[in-house]
Structure 1
Amino acid sequence: MEEVVYESFEQLEAFMTLGFKAAGVPLDEAETCARVLIESDKRGIDSHGVGRFKPIYIDRINNGTLLTETDIEVIKETKTTAVLDGHDGLGHVIGVKAMSLAIDKATKYGLGMVAVRNSTHYGIAGYYALMAAKKNMICFTGTNARPSIAPTFGVESMLGTNPLTIGFPTDEAFPFVIDCATSISQRGKIEHYARIGKKMPNGWVVNQEGQAVRDPEKALSGLSNGTCALTPLGGIGEELGGYKGYGYATVVEVLSAALQSGMFLQKLSGVSESGAPQRYHLGHFFLAIDIKAFTETDDFKKITGDILRSLRASKKAEGEDRIYTAGEKEYLAYLERLETGVPLNKVVRESLVSVREAYQIDFEFSWEKKTCQNS
């Protein structure tokens, strides 16, 4: 088992803010980026939080594929819609701006939709769904990504993991938020299997012969060199509905690219023809719906809550003691981590320390203080 230590939300958010700022990001934008990232850790989604701070953001700033200052341009706008160009700035800053604009339009007119081109990785899509839910609005958002999913009956990486994320408020302590990729799994989960030396479940990854790959090391190598691809939700072929995940991934690709004349599919690889790193030019979309335009907000939240409670109270399979609804596990993780902090393995700790040393940031983590006290 991996050795982990725990760090508070506040400490990690403060350090990431300092790190982004040291890398050249303006303070207000650094705070936005850190706030989006820590939300992932708060919700127990370790694949998209502080663990990605260095490899996905700081490293990309250093290699020039992510700009430190975000220039957001309004390309086209109506009362209820807008198209923004992020000019390859910070995806978190662009995402918050776009979602806020969609919410503002929905507040005035009932519906607001914003499409974005030339953006970068915007963190967990669920962050933007939570923004809308806090305003008593329904949210649909999605983003395309570097190609990693093969289409049904195909073996070549074409589509990104392309999450289709939906959220809405309820009368419970937490909103309903479904935030997941349109692939069965993601690279981060495969990396976890590699770290613990365990074979992956059958059907997560397909090779050039169309066969399932269960060795995580071979899968990671193949995903890097193009000889393997992730499978869409439902898995290989059509027997378990792989065409459904493929179809939804395509929907997200179209709404993230065609709606705003953006880049798509293999143009999003982040690698030039010469093999050098290049900017990603990702696209996103954000739809906010004001519940008051359709019904009383409290009525909507009560009926929604009744639906979710009925689902959780339904008959359970033998050996199972609980049924969950979307957003519940994340809320429970949040309550637990309020007490314990965020678990950090050795790799993540070393990445944070390396950023601190590279930028000579004056900062001490809580786990370092405890180590000194115990020595």
Structure 2
Amino acid sequence: MDTKKSYADAYKDCAWVDFASLEAFMEDALVHSGIPQADAKVIGNVLIESDKRGIDSHGIGRLKPIYIDRIDEGIMNPVTTIDVIKDEKTAAVLDANNGMGHVAGVKAMQMAIDKAKEYGMGMVVVRNSNHYGIAGYFVTMATEEGMIGVTGTNARPSIAPTFGVENMLGTNPLTWGLPTDEEFPFVLDCATSVSQRGKIEVYGRAGKELPPGWVIGEDGSTRTDTAQVLKDLTTGHAALTPLGGIGEQGGGYKGYGYATVVEILSAALADGAWMKQLNGTDDKGNHIPYPLGHFFIAIDPAFFMGREVFKKIAGTICRELRDSRKAPGNDRIYTAGEKEWEAWQYRKEHGCPVPPSLQKTMITLRDRFKLDYHWDFEKN
């Protein structure tokens, strides 16, 4: 694959903005929304990491609709106060008090890592939190320490159970990060649905129809009308399909099962909220907080056969997979985390692609907060 050509084609309508100014802009906008400077720096770092990895659904595109708008509505606390409910040798329970999920997530994963350094494993759960950005950010906190990282989070109901059409479960990623002896770790960061709301929003901004099989309607058939789907996902008139798709033929029960595992772990260990309690509306239709739960696990290979042994074998497995026979018409096999690493190799030289709709949002926030930012795309 010609990476440069494919990126140029994929983002031909976008303006490219350097990461340093984009991250600074997000931090400044967050501070002007009432978030303390130190916390804004944490959140900005999580968001920009998404854009660096090519995960366009969870970076600058989430700044206004998920965070600033919810702060404006009064359903998310800009100041994050974290209570330690329980703290044992290898386990802890935190309450984020409806604060910023990124801040709670970084604290929780660091606690899990510190416990793993001392005891081999650590697990920390969080309740009453909010959307925490890309799950992959937290597992790479562990891989950077030579450890295995695991995290999951529940979310507002989006997925219909197999043989159902009602959105009951969140997109609930079950995310793993494994250190390797390569330039990048193995990071499996994906929703337990065929697609997720953020990717559908990307399609919406581009004015594109959805691929068949991503969304199921109330009549049990697939939906592709992106703009109406985004509305109907919120009102419960459409639902995402679990990994494997509609019904059992493609293994949809597997995605449904894993989404349920994440839901239970995100709620039950911390005595937190689940499923319809995360709808974000009360019985009168008023917007209310989304009291999400997260879990974070760190495992130190040093307590097994050693970090270097683990990394060498993990890297060898990845290389053997990539070197295996290719299907006709395909010249590469990827392992998890490789495409994100390649996206960064390109983007660290070119910056972040910003589509026209997002350019307007950035200008709106800049003008609202009277920030001193000027971008090349304004000249066009």
Task: Say whether 1:6 aligns with 2:16.
Answer: yes
Deviation at 1:5, TM superposition (A): 0.4
Q: Give the equivalent residue in structure 2 for 1:126.
A: 136
Deviation at 1:348, TM superposition (A): 0.9
Task: Say whether 1:167 aligns with 2:180.
Answer: no
SS of 2:180's equivalent in the other structure is coil
Q: Give the equivalent residue in structure 2 for 1:50.
A: 60
Structure-1 separation of matches of 2:205 and 2:127: 35
Q: Give the equivalent residue in structure 2 for 1:147.
A: 157
Deviation at 1:358, TM superposition (A): 1.3
Could you tell me which of 145, 162, 183 is aligned with 1:135? 145
Does the 8 Å CA contact 1:2/1:345 hold for their aligned counterparts?
no
Does the 8 Å CA contact 2:153/2:294 hold for their aligned counterparts?
yes
SS of 2:269's equivalent in the other structure is helix
Q: Give the equivalent residue in structure 2 for 1:110.
A: 120
The 1:79/1:145 distance shift into structure 2, 3 A limit, reads same
Task: Say whether 1:266 aligns with 2:276.
Answer: yes
Task: Say whether 1:244 aligns with 2:254.
Answer: yes
Q: Give the equivalent residue in structure 2 for 1:345.
A: 355
Task: Say whether 1:317 aligns with 2:338.
Answer: no
SS of 2:290's equivalent in the other structure is coil
Deviation at 1:210, TM superposition (A): 1.1
Deviation at 1:273, TM superposition (A): 1.2
Could you tell me which of 331, 341, 359 is aligned with 2:369? 359
1:332 partner amino acid? E
Q: Give the equivalent residue in structure 2 for 1:191.
A: 201
SS of 1:47's equivalent in the other structure is coil
RMSD of Structure 2 on Structure 1 (CA): 1.3
Could you tell me which of 263, 288, 295 is aligned with 1:278? 288
The 1:21/1:221 distance shift into structure 2, 3 A limit, reads closer
Structure-2 separation of matches of 1:93 and 1:168: 23
Write out per-residue CA displacement over residues 46-67 of structure 1, whole angstroms, 9 at most, x where no aligned residue.
0000111111111111111111
Identity of aligned residues (%): 57
Tell me which moved more, 345-354 or 76-85.
345-354
Does the 8 Å CA contact 2:122/2:298 hold for their aligned counterparts?
yes
SS of 1:15's equivalent in the other structure is helix
The 1:140/1:349 distance shift into structure 2, 3 A limit, reads same
Could you tell me which of 213, 229, 234 is aligned with 1:224? 234
Could you tell me which of 77, 82, 95 is aligned with 2:92? 82
The TM-score normalised by the length of structure 1 is 0.96
Structure-2 separation of matches of 1:37 and 1:56: 12
Structure 1: 5+ residue runs without aligned partners?
Answer: none
Deviation at 1:354, TM superposition (A): 1.1
Could you tell me which of 289, 292, 296 is aligned with 2:299? 289
Write out per-residue CA displacement over residues 139-163 of structure 1, whole angstroms, 9 at most, x where no aligned residue.
1100000000000001100000000
Structure-1 separation of matches of 2:321 and 2:365: 45
Deviation at 1:204, TM superposition (A): 1.0
Structure-2 separation of matches of 1:71 and 1:46: 29
Does the 8 Å CA contact 2:57/2:202 hold for their aligned counterparts?
no
Q: Number of residues paired by the alignment? A: 370
Q: Give the equivalent residue in structure 2 for 1:101.
A: 111
Task: Say whether 1:180 aligns with 2:190.
Answer: yes
SS of 1:46's equivalent in the other structure is coil
Write out per-residue CA displacement over residues 66-109 of structure 1, whole angstroms, 9 at most, x where no aligned residue.
11111000001101100000000011000000000000110111
1:264 partner amino acid? W
Structure-2 separation of matches of 1:48 and 1:197: 18
Structure-1 separation of matches of 2:150 and 2:159: 22
Deviation at 1:216, TM superposition (A): 2.1
Q: Give the equivalent residue in structure 2 for 1:213.
A: 223
Task: Say whether 1:233 aligns with 2:243.
Answer: yes
SS of 2:170's equivalent in the other structure is coil
Deviation at 1:18, TM superposition (A): 0.7
The TM-score normalised by the length of structure 2 is 0.95
Deviation at 1:319, TM superposition (A): 0.3
